[in-house]
Structure 1
Amino acid sequence: MRKIAALLLALTLLFGMSAPAGAVSTSASSAVLMDAGSGRVLFEEDMHTPRPIASITKLMTALVAVEETSELSQTITVEPEWLEGVEGSSLYLKAGDQLTLETLLYGLLLQSGNDAAQVIACWIGEDLEGFARLMNEKARELGMTNTHFTNPSGLNQEEHYSSAYDMALLACACLENPTVANICATQNISLEGRTFVNHNKLLWLEEDCVGMKTGYTEASGRTLVSAATRGAQTLVCVTLNDPDDWDDHQALLHYGFDTYPVTQLCGEGTTVGQAAVAGSVQPTVSLVAQGDCWYPLAEGEQLDMQLDVYSPLTAPIPAGTQVGTARWILDGEVVAEMPLETGTGVEDDRWKPNALVRWWMGLWGKSWETTVPGMGLI
């Protein structure tokens, strides 16, 4: 059974001595600003309280739809029962209309069509209840603990709610899905004779904005999920019941980029340390990162790096063998991790006696490892 030996390295990243920039505030009942790469919360106001969320629900509808189907060019014929009870924003679909899933998804996320939401849900889940089950399964998978969905559009129902933090988790998952992320970032598009213009004004107001979704009902107030990318950093912002959401999102995104710029902790293939090796004349082996690792840090914050390496390391060890994990610690908590592998191979190149010497030693009842100085196992 392999033991884990903690090899502490005093690697400290210093970024000045001043405190983070002045606090920001919003007009929202709930708000959160999150670094998408690390999941670090950079700002929050009552982020875990469940509230009605209106049409930002459609981010989950789109994500489930894309994950449940592999071909967006499939043609869907609208059944009359799929349009029952539709109200609010609409693509004005009629029974018998034929559209591809791709067109329906653009109508869902850009024009916020409630009829598109129901058609997608009934086509994939057979009915609204079946699709809601898929939505809630995905929510549990993402760790959305203060969320429950009952419909694909976000129309008001007592058991349909989420929190700002949970919606940020969903937004991060949508950004990791290339299809959903691309649709959310589209300003306008024409498909199958229909033109859709994105309701998200931030796509025009903020050059770094890459989506995502607006919402409004009388019960929820204005809800908004936005995302912006600057260099290697992507931020997600969520506000619920915010009458000044455009201004608040711009202020929060600027605050995040300016106050918590992302810092590269390691790059794929870069050496982050050394580890002792037994059974070889080569005393150590280099430890290299298996990927890139970034983390947002404010001025004055510092990280310590800890290397946890499988112990003991004994030759032979091929190059590229995973041998441990690098962990970065902020204020006593692990905030980032990266698997480590050997940068080069290590051979068992110790001197070994030939058969005659081993026979002679055997006559005296001796082991060559214990007889020859310096040749024993470490």
Structure 2
Amino acid sequence: MHARFRITSLLSHALAFAVLGLALAVPDVHATQRKPAAAKKTASVPAKRVAAKLPHKASANKATRVSARSAKAPVRMAAEPARVSFGQLAGLHAVSDPLDLKSSVALVIDQDTKEVLLSKNDHAVLPIASLTKLMTGLLISEARLPMDEPITITQDDVDTEKGSGSRLTVGATLSRAELLHLALMSSENRAAHALGRTYPGGLAAFVQRMNAKAKLLGMTETRFVEPTGLSSNNQSSAHDLATLVNVAHGDALLREFSTSPGHEVMVGKRVLQYNNTNRLVKSPSWDIGLQKTGYISEAGRCLVMQAEIAGRKLIMVFLDSAGKFSRLGDAERVRSWVEKMHPISGANMGAAAMPRS
């Protein structure tokens, strides 16, 4: 009887310890479950893009390892995953070129002879970001609208596409010329949008005019949906953009504004200093006649220029460059090559171009 009681007592104590152990373990289980959920919130890349980058199983294992570490030590904030450009998704960076450019798309042509010195995926159609503003500027200049006319920034000009900021607050008033200057030189989005919004007929008429102009110039691989480049639906090819640069270079106002190193504007009682987004315009080793930079995550870093190198007037287009400064590095590589190899023919230098789609 006593033996049976002792066995029952021991079983009761064992059960109690088991329940206590389970109770202590449960919070850790919940903590482990919460960690992957928190990690998901920090990710800003769409699920499809993440899935394309990492296999599902690998992603799950990675989340498990992070959770396991969190039980032992403070957790560091997870780094935001890199956003993938359209060019990366299409595998365009796998195409090699003789200069080892960091841009997945490139085109260098002689402006006078139309000789192609270098080509790489030059018919690939990609988002072009703020290179869009070259077409915006060209249409505003050709419209011969009063450049001294005051234009006020409204709520309609605020970026709802990417949520980017601006020092041009709602209610700020500048002349059309000043807005055009800021749009071309420092890629001011609200300035570009206000220019399109105040075009005769309004924004819709302006966008229609952008596409009509592209068609007129033979830019068959180009489409615009708004005047800033914030939308990834503004798309073109290096081939078409070289055509746009050539035409825009013929406009004195666009040459002046796009290559201006800096500019001050008076907004109310404040003086705002703006600088060129392309630091090469300040370099004494460059003779740049027209330029425009662009960037959104879908487009990568972009750059177009007209510049004189080794006595030749060249048009250069670089799209979907992977690093922050690599588009400028690509321009430097081309300049060094032209200076060293001139007057070598570009026929043998061009990488195989992507077939038209």
TM over 0.5, shorter chain: yes
Q: Give the letter for the 1:42 counterpart.
A: L
Q: Structure 1, unaligned stretches of length 5 or more?
A: 1-21, 262-296, 302-378
Moved more, 130-139 or 78-87: 78-87
Q: Give the letter for the 1:202 counterpart.
A: L
1:134-188 deviation digits (Å, cap 9, x = unpaired)? 1111111221111001111111344x20001111111111111000011111111
Instruction: State the distance in 1 between where 2:346 and 2:182 align.
Output: 43
Q: Structure 2, unaligned stretches of length 5 or more?
A: 1-96, 349-357
1:36 Cα deviation from its structure 2 partner = 1.8
Instruction: State the distance in 1 between where 2:102 and 2:159 align.
Output: 36
Instruction: Give the 3-state SS of the residue equivalent to 1:96 in structure 2.
Output: coil
Q: Give the letter for the 2:175 counterpart.
A: T
- Which structure has more strand as a fraction of its residues? 1
1:29–1:45: 8 Å Cα contact kept in structure 2? yes
Instruction: State the distance in 1 between where 2:143 and 2:256 align.
Output: 18
Instruction: Give the 3-state SS of the residue equivalent to 2:103 in structure 1.
Output: coil
Instruction: State the distance in 1 between where 2:261 and 2:235 align.
Output: 28
Q: Does 1:254 align with 2:336?
A: yes
What does residue 319 of structure 2 align with? 240
1:82-103 deviation digits (Å, cap 9, x = unpaired)? 4463645554333432211111
Percent same amino acid at aligned positions?
A: 29
What does residue 213 of structure 1 align with? 292
Output aligned runs, 1:1-378, within 5 Å.
23-83=98-158, 85=160, 87=162, 89-158=164-233, 160-192=234-266, 193-205=271-283, 206-230=285-309, 233-243=312-322, 244-261=326-343, 298=345
1:260 Cα deviation from its structure 2 partner = 4.7
1:37 Cα deviation from its structure 2 partner = 2.3
1:92–1:115: 8 Å Cα contact kept in structure 2? no
Q: What CA RMSD, in Å, does the superposition of the two structures yield over aligned residues?
A: 2.6
- Which structure has more helix as a fraction of its residues? 2
Moved more, 80-89 or 194-203: 80-89
1:247 Cα deviation from its structure 2 partner = 1.1
Sort the Cα spacing of 1:23 and 1:148 in 2 relative to 1 into closer, same or farther, 3 A: same
Instruction: State the distance in 1 between where 2:144 and 2:347 align.
Output: 47
Matched positions, count:
244
Instruction: Give the 3-state SS of the residue equivalent to 1:24 in structure 2.
Output: coil
Instruction: State the distance in 2 between where 1:42 and 1:225 align.
Output: 15
Instruction: State the distance in 2 between where 1:54 and 1:134 align.
Output: 18
1:195-240 deviation digits (Å, cap 9, x = unpaired)? 2100102223443233411111111111111221247632111111
Instruction: State the distance in 1 between where 2:306 and 2:336 align.
Output: 12
Instruction: Give the 3-state SS of the residue equivalent to 1:241 in structure 2.
Output: strand
Q: Give the letter for the 2:282 counterpart.
A: W
Sort the Cα spacing of 1:97 and 1:246 in 2 relative to 1 into closer, same or farther, 3 A: same
